[in-house]
Amino acid sequence: MNATSFRLQDHLNRRIFMGRSTAALSSIALSSLMKSESQAAPAVRAFPNFAPKAKRVIYLFQSGAPSQMDLFDPKPQMEKYRGQDLPASIRQGQRLTTMTSGQKSFPVAPSMFKFNRHGKSGTVLSELMPHIGTVADELCVVRSMFTEAINHDPAITFCQTGSQLAGRPSIGSWLGYGLGSMNHDLPAYVVLTSFGTGRTNDQPLYDRLWSSGFLPTQHQGVKFRNAGDPVLYLSNPEGLNRGLRRQMLDELSALNEADHAQGGDPETLTRIAQYEMAFRMQTSVPDLVDTSKESKEVLEMYGPDVHKPGTYAANCLLARRLAERDVRCIQLFHMGWDHHGGLPNAIRGQCSDTDQATAALIKDLKQRGLLDDTLIVWGGEFGRTIYSQGTLTETNYGRDHHPRCFSLFLAGAGVNKGTTYGETDDYCYNIVRDGVHVHDLNATIMHLMGVDHERLTYRFQGRDYRLTDIHGNVVKGLLA
């Protein structure tokens, strides 16, 4: 190709580029006049399938696996078996972790904590949860949860995505994809994390737990940091004002629109949506995290830690503020529940972190009329063993992982309040009535959000995927 041809080709490339850029800018200007609140994360048109009970969900995930027989599922009869070996007829040859499979014995470790009845419902809760006891009539306690996963990372991944293998979309991403956003200025799915005082160096959390997997990436969870600015790079650099940033984004959007027109990659549109969301969050996030106008009574209700950013209490207050702003899915991950040893002291610390703030969140939502259309879920990834890991003493014991049964509770929209569902055997080792699998729980959460879990699917690599895979049933006993 000669020099004249190069100049002609270069001229044509510039003309094509400028033409496409002008068209893209025009389309952006037009679309900005027609923006709706759902543009940030459009819903799949078929959803909701029916009138939802809940508009939003707040999932209080207790990472590390709380001990069910020390919190929700009392077994006082175990005291007469203290130190005796767990009967083989109860264990039934079930899988053990490598942390206790080599133990010569499995001594029964009764809980050292007392249990009391609360509310008109008489819901039984540990003495470690006095504040949650004050909202007992709002709770549906499930004692019969079970899972296949026996180690933390696959178990948490399973709760979040319906698979023990990483790579699939999280529950919040599925809800955002199916139902869309209710707030134009905040993400549909927000994640908050906190470190527990019961075990400060506990199991880590990975950002892929709130990933969108193979769904469009605009549906991934947005994690707010638990120290410093909640979201990085929201502030304009020195010398760049909001007008200049708006101009820069418009020009960048033009380039991306032109690229999408040529290549058709949907992730290009996601990139545009994320830039626009970040621009709007420059205003919405500072207002969200500014709690200076909260009343003294509300702040005291959440406890003293509410003044420390990144704590569970502060995150619970932030969850209420996100709910007020109609964020679709809010997840709080509180680490520190993995108590293989020193459980009595460690679990006291965890409950000190979470008890008052959890109860305050429920009360706060209720007094604002938000509990009627907000679903709350509190629970971890599996349970813990009745037998002690390591040495058992009068004042100390540890517990290993146990997937065969564990407990959690639900509250809020559409929940069968003031009830306890399911039953375990005398050793809190096996379920004897009304088992609830993790897939069943996720199916029930989606049902309360107005979604038929069997119909919310996404085709990837030649097959249709869903959160519950090919499993899961709505548990009607959990519904009002």
**What pLDDT, on a 0 to 100 scale, did the predictor assign at position 28?**
39
How sure is the predictor about 25, in pLDDT bands with cuts at 50, 70 and 90? very low
The backbone torsions φ and ψ at residue 334, rounded to the nearest 5 degrees and listed phi first, read -110, 115
User: pLDDT above 90 covers what percent of the chain?
Assistant: 75
**What pLDDT, on a 0 to 100 scale, did the predictor assign at position 329?**
98
**What pLDDT, on a 0 to 100 scale, did the predictor assign at position 460?**
96
**What pLDDT, on a 0 to 100 scale, did the predictor assign at position 43?**
63
CA 234 to chain centroid: 24
| 398-445 residue pLDDT tens | 999 999 999 999 999 999 999 999 999 999 999 999 999 999 999 999
- Position 179 pLDDT exceeds 90: yes
Q: Report the chain's mean pLDDT, rounded to a whole number.
A: 89
* Local structure of residue 170 (DSSP, 8 states): P
- Considering just the CA atoms, what is the radius of gyration of the chain in Å? 25
Segment 54-77 shows an average pLDDT of: 98
User: Are β-strands 436-437 and 139-146 bridged in parallel, bridged antiparallel, or unpaired?
Assistant: parallel
Q: What six digits make up the tokens of 349?
A: 């610390």
For the chain, give the number of residues: 480
* Local structure of residue 296 (DSSP, 8 states): H
How sure is the predictor about 44, in pLDDT bands with cuts at 50, 70 and 90? low
The whole-angstrom separation of Cα 195 and Cα 202 is: 8
The maximal CA–CA distance of the chain, rounded, in angstroms, is: 97
CB 111 within 8 A of CB 74: yes
Is the peptide bond between 76 and the residue preceding it cis, with omega within 30 degrees of 0? no
Give me the helix-helix angle, 242-263 and 266-289, nearest 10°. 160
Using DSSP, state whether 409 is helix, strand or coil.
strand
**What pLDDT, on a 0 to 100 scale, did the predictor assign at position 267?**
76
Segment 166-177 shows an average pLDDT of: 97
User: Are β-strands 115-118 and 123-126 bridged in parallel, bridged antiparallel, or unpaired?
Assistant: antiparallel
CB 371 within 8 A of CB 360: no
The whole-angstrom separation of Cα 340 and Cα 246 is: 53
Q: Which residue type does 208 have?
A: R
Half-sphere exposure of 199 (CA within 13 A, CB side): 22
| 284-334 residue pLDDT tens | 888 899 999 999 999 999 999 999 999 999 999 999 999 999 999 999 999
In this prediction the pTM is 0.87
**What pLDDT, on a 0 to 100 scale, did the predictor assign at position 156?**
98
How sure is the predictor about 1, in pLDDT bands with cuts at 50, 70 and 90? low
The whole-angstrom separation of Cα 454 and Cα 456 is: 6
Instruction: Please report the sign of the dihedral spanned by the C-alpha atoms of residue 127, residue 128, residue 131, residue 133.
Output: negative
**What pLDDT, on a 0 to 100 scale, did the predictor assign at position 26?**
38
* Element at 31 (helix H, strand E): helix 3-33
**What pLDDT, on a 0 to 100 scale, did the predictor assign at position 136?**
98
How sure is the predictor about 42, in pLDDT bands with cuts at 50, 70 and 90? low
The whole-angstrom separation of Cα 349 and Cα 54 is: 32
Q: Which residue type does 254 have?
A: A
Q: Which residue type does 361 have?
A: L
User: pLDDT above 70 covers what percent of the chain?
Assistant: 90
**What pLDDT, on a 0 to 100 scale, did the predictor assign at position 212?**
96
- Position 263 pLDDT exceeds 90: no
**What pLDDT, on a 0 to 100 scale, did the predictor assign at position 330?**
98
**What pLDDT, on a 0 to 100 scale, did the predictor assign at position 412?**
98
Detail the DSSP E strand segments found in 165-307.
189-194, 222-224
Query: Which range in 184-193, 226-235, 271-280 is most confidently predicted, on average pLDDT?
Result: 184-193
**What pLDDT, on a 0 to 100 scale, did the predictor assign at position 165?**
96
Segment 60-89 shows an average pLDDT of: 97
CA 334 to chain centroid: 10
Using DSSP, state whether 121 is helix, strand or coil.
coil
Structure-token match 């520190």, residue found: 336
The whole-angstrom separation of Cα 93 and Cα 105 is: 14
- Region of poorest pLDDT, from 11-15, 226-230, 356-360, 471-475: 11-15
CA 285-244-13 angle, to 5 degrees, is 120
Segment 99-125 shows an average pLDDT of: 97
In angstroms, the Cα distances linking 266 to 45, 225, 459 are 18, 28, 15
CB 397 within 8 A of CB 109: yes
**What pLDDT, on a 0 to 100 scale, did the predictor assign at position 20?**
47
| 30-40 residue pLDDT tens | 343 333 333 44
Q: Spell out the residues 6+ positions from residue 36 whose beta carbon is closer than 8 angstroms to its own.
A: 184
The whole-angstrom separation of Cα 195 and Cα 204 is: 10
How sure is the predictor about 8, in pLDDT bands with cuts at 50, 70 and 90? very low
Q: Which residues of 1-20 are buried (b: 16+ CB within 10 A; e: fewer)?
A: eeeeeeeeeeeeeeeeeeeb
| Residue, of 289 and 1, whose pLDDT is higher | 289
Structure-token match 């629970």, residue found: 379
Segment 197-202 shows an average pLDDT of: 87
Q: Spell out the residues 6+ positions from residue 12 whose beta carbon is closer than 8 angstroms to its own.
A: none
Structure-token match 């969140």, residue found: 361
